[in-house]
Structure 1
Amino acid sequence: MTNNSATGNDLPPSFAPSHSKKGSAQTPVSTTPNASTPTPPSFAPGRTPSPQAGTAASAMPASFEPKRNRNSRSSSSSSSVVGSASSRPSSPEAAPSYAPHRASSRHQHPHQAPARPRNPRPAASAPMRTAATTATRKPHRVRNMVLGVLLVIVIVLGIGVIGTYNWVNSNLRKEAWLTTGSDTPGTSWLILGSDERDGTTGADDTPGERTDTILILTKPKHGPSSLISVPRDSLVQVGDQMLKINAVMQVFGKKELVTQVESITGQHIDHVAKLTFGGLTKVVDALGGVELCYDQDVDDEKSELHWKSGCHMVDGRTALAFSRMRYSDPRSDFGRSDRQRQVIGAIAQKATSKSTLFNIGKLKKVGEAALGSLTVDDKSTPWTMLQMLLAFRDASGSNGITGSLYWTDPGYYVDGVGSSVLLDNQKNLELFRQLHDGDHAPGQVGSTAEQQ
């Protein structure tokens, strides 16, 4: 027999994967045929091996056929000589198994075509790919679930907000208050407390409806909000008639009162809200009371206020008496204006607190109490009312501006009118210019602040 290795036969030796590792302890497969060691067939991809005769053929493994699928390979193997356990060689040198996906190109025969794996997607890697895919998709499922929950919450809140908005808007009592004056920077509200006869005004009674509380709330585009009191005895003139400002609405109507305030401030009034004193009582009770502070003992029969110096949590009726008392106050109406701002500020703080906003039952009670005693201008909406409440809270806080108008004579006497407050027009115009522009620093302003 002729030795293929010696004669340079172009058939390459069989592929033995165990030789691909350096330092292998195994003995290399000999390429020299002899009687005891069978020669495995040469590896030739795509070529069908020729059957070998004799015992050497019975010990040879089947040639690797890359294009043949697993089923056909199994069928071929069962019919080949390697399908028999008795004919399978016991030595790894005799019949090395072929593992194409582990082969290294360094050990490939120079005349051998690149081996093509018989299965480009081995079954062994499928579980790993499935686990990786599951690990990748699991956060996505969690994210989608969270997004879905958030979407539901947004929809529910949206429906709730729309429902609340419509409920408030349908219950707002609107009247024609506003003038046709030109707009000015920022937003301003005229807040009125009326002593309309409702059985809650105490013994300090006056016939008719008078605006005993007049406040100007200003929210500039940039800068601190402000809450300024207008003394109820401020002297104004309508045509040829002189009168106190708290009687203007009763004598000349709503729009004339707004006109007088715009004349004092030099700024346009954007919105008006009038609250009866009886409504104040109901709002405070719906809130569960508010905390008020006053540093004097009071026992006033006209307002029915009985007070021990200090801070106390009070109900609606006491809050009303606190805001109306003036005969027992050394500062008279000026002291009363300060206490009225304190009451409204306390209401705004409590109404915008978490204990109220997150208590649906309390929030509804407060809303019903306020809407039942509130009258607004015909351009007001639930949104502008919310802005007003927030501006109240900010103005009453440490970064807000509070005080009263400036005056030149707090006891100016006019025949037929009585003792009045003569205002300082120039100072007031400059004050409100700064308040609307947001240029004024936080703190106390006005003649009451100067006297303290």
Structure 2
Amino acid sequence: MAGTRTRTGTAKRRRWPRRVLLTVLVVLVLLVGYGTGLYFWADSRLRTTDAFTDFDGRPTAGKGTDWLLVGSDSRADLTPEQRKELHVGNDQGLNTDTIMILHYGGSGPYLISIPRDSYVPIPGHGTNKINAAYALGGAKLLTRTVEQATGLRLDHYAEINFLGLVDVVDSLGGVTLCVPDGGLHDEKSGADFDAGCQHMGGVQALQYARARYSDPKGDLGRVERQQQLVNAIADKALSPAVLVPPWKLIPFLSASLDALTVDPGTGIGALATMGRKVSGLSGHSGTTTVPVASEPYVSGAGDVVEWNRSEAEELFAALRADTAIPTFDTN
């Protein structure tokens, strides 16, 4: 009897490593299946728009990768109640509140904001504020305008609207944003924040990013807050607290996919890479704005932003060559 118990115990001990191995293999298969299924589910839900067009004199491809990131101010899909809650008014025009270039490669990542009131040539429409390009010809005219103004050939395009931004922030459970000294109080955007770091939900984050009338820097101050919000969203979205639990990751992905529109050549893999690169922009490191020379009033266009052409060209040349971007005195 004793011998029998010994052989049985030995057999169980021999089976134990095999059970552990089988368990590990099953878990790995489930994880791979989950990841693969999630990838194809997400990829199938991407909304696309024809964002690029070939034209005579189009810039040749530079080194590295360049994205055009756009925030649309369309109110078309908003109910009267949503327009009131978001403090976006009833303007029926279609412009772009946010225009950014994301570059990465051997250098970077760099996030370059283009002021929406930048006074630049718009092909076929004379010279106007750059955000008018979208209203006049959609994504194709906007990307062409940006390419001709910067000399950069863009690789990817991604666009998000008001409500989409709110839903993405809310799917993350909100984000933390640090309001500078003096606070931010802007009746038109609804922003009403005292100074200091604070948790904001989607509506508050939109109000914070859109405020400009009470900011002494005007649109340039809004650009800085937009950069801050993009960084905050990327940092939280790529944290283990969101990426690991399916009940956190799937709602975030669903909200993001509903909010985003990309060019047909952009897939989930490219978006994931873009997100990682934006998350690498710790704080304000790597974020800047196209250098500004003056902000005159132009009849027919209103208050506009004129670039410092020599400094702007230095910046764009560095991006084309995928080298470190220069630092400019913004005072």
The residue type equivalent to 1:335 in the other structure is G
Q: Per-residue deviation at 1:422?
A: 1.2
Structure 1 counterpart of 2:304, from 420, 424, 428: 420
Q: Per-residue deviation at 1:165?
A: 1.2
CA separation of 1:425 and 1:259: change in aligned 2, threshold 3 A: farther
Quote the Cα distance in structure 2 between the aligned partners of 1:225 and 1:302: 33
Instruction: Check if 1:331 corresponds to 2:217.
Output: yes
Quote the Cα distance in structure 1 between the aligned partners of 2:19 and 2:317: 53
Q: Which residue of 2 aligns with 1:168?
A: 42
Quote the Cα distance in structure 2 between the aligned partners of 1:301 and 1:413: 24
Instruction: Check if 1:401 corresponds to 2:280.
Output: no
Q: Which residue of 1 aligns with 2:3?
A: none
Instruction: Check if 1:308 corresponds to 2:184.
Output: no
Identity of aligned residues (%): 36
User: Counterpart of 1:372 in 2: which secondary structure?
Assistant: helix
Quote the Cα distance in structure 2 between the aligned partners of 1:323 and 1:418: 22
User: Counterpart of 2:92 in 1: which secondary structure?
Assistant: coil
Is contact 2:231-2:283 (8 Å) kept?
no
Structure 2 counterpart of 1:179, from 45, 50, 53: 53
Instruction: Check if 1:282 corresponds to 2:167.
Output: yes
Is contact 1:293-1:311 (8 Å) kept?
yes
Q: Per-residue deviation at 1:406?
A: 1.4
How many residues were matched structurally?
A: 312
Quote the Cα distance in structure 1 between the aligned partners of 2:44 and 2:17: 40
Q: Which residue of 1 aligns with 2:236?
A: 350
CA separation of 1:160 and 1:418: change in aligned 2, threshold 3 A: same
Q: Per-residue deviation at 1:318?
A: 0.5
User: Counterpart of 2:51 in 1: which secondary structure?
Assistant: coil
Q: Per-residue deviation at 1:147?
A: 4.9
Instruction: Check if 1:386 corresponds to 2:308.
Output: no
Is contact 1:224-1:399 (8 Å) kept?
no
Structure 1 counterpart of 2:31, from 157, 162, 173: 157
Q: Which residue of 2 aligns with 1:57?
A: none
Quote the Cα distance in structure 2 between the aligned partners of 1:412 and 1:300: 23
Instruction: Check if 1:225 corresponds to 2:109.
Output: yes
Is contact 1:356-1:363 (8 Å) kept?
yes
User: Counterpart of 2:131 in 1: which secondary structure?
Assistant: helix
**Structure 1: 5+ residue stretches without partners:** 1-130
- Tell me the TM-score normalized by structure 2: 0.86
The residue type equivalent to 2:214 in the other structure is S
Q: Per-residue deviation at 1:154?
A: 3.0
CA RMSD of aligned residues (A): 2.6
Superimposed CA distance per residue, residues 183-227 of structure 1 (whole angstroms, 9 cap, x where no aligned partner) = 32111111111111023441555331110100111111x222011
Structure 2 counterpart of 1:430, from 296, 301, 314: 314
Superimposed CA distance per residue, residues 340-375 of structure 1 (whole angstroms, 9 cap, x where no aligned partner) = 110111000000001111121121111111111211
Superimposed CA distance per residue, residues 417-446 of structure 1 (whole angstroms, 9 cap, x where no aligned partner) = 1221112334323313323544216xx955
Is contact 2:228-2:284 (8 Å) kept?
no
Q: Which residue of 1 aligns with 2:96?
A: 211
- Tell me the TM-score normalized by structure 1: 0.64
Superimposed CA distance per residue, residues 134-187 of structure 1 (whole angstroms, 9 cap, x where no aligned partner) = 9xxx89x77766554443333222211221111111111111002335432111
The residue type equivalent to 1:178 in the other structure is F
Q: Which residue of 2 aligns with 1:39?
A: none
Quote the Cα distance in structure 2 between the aligned partners of 1:162 and 1:206: 42
CA separation of 1:143 and 1:188: change in aligned 2, threshold 3 A: farther
User: Counterpart of 1:451 in 2: which secondary structure?
Assistant: coil
User: Counterpart of 2:293 in 1: which secondary structure?
Assistant: strand
Quote the Cα distance in structure 1 between the aligned partners of 2:167 and 2:137: 29
Q: Report which structure shows greater RCO (CA 8 Å, sep ≥6).
A: 2
Is contact 1:264-1:428 (8 Å) kept?
no
The residue type equivalent to 2:207 in the other structure is A
Q: Deviating runs (4+, > 6 A) in structure 1?
A: none
Is contact 2:158-2:263 (8 Å) kept?
yes
CA separation of 1:336 and 1:204: change in aligned 2, threshold 3 A: farther
Q: Per-residue deviation at 1:302?
A: 0.4
The residue type equivalent to 1:172 in the other structure is L
Is contact 1:404-1:445 (8 Å) kept?
no
Structure 2 counterpart of 1:188, from 60, 66, 76: 66
**Structure 2: 5+ residue stretches without partners:** 1-6
Q: Which residue of 2 aligns with 1:93?
A: none
User: Counterpart of 1:439 in 2: which secondary structure?
Assistant: coil
CA separation of 1:283 and 1:399: change in aligned 2, threshold 3 A: closer
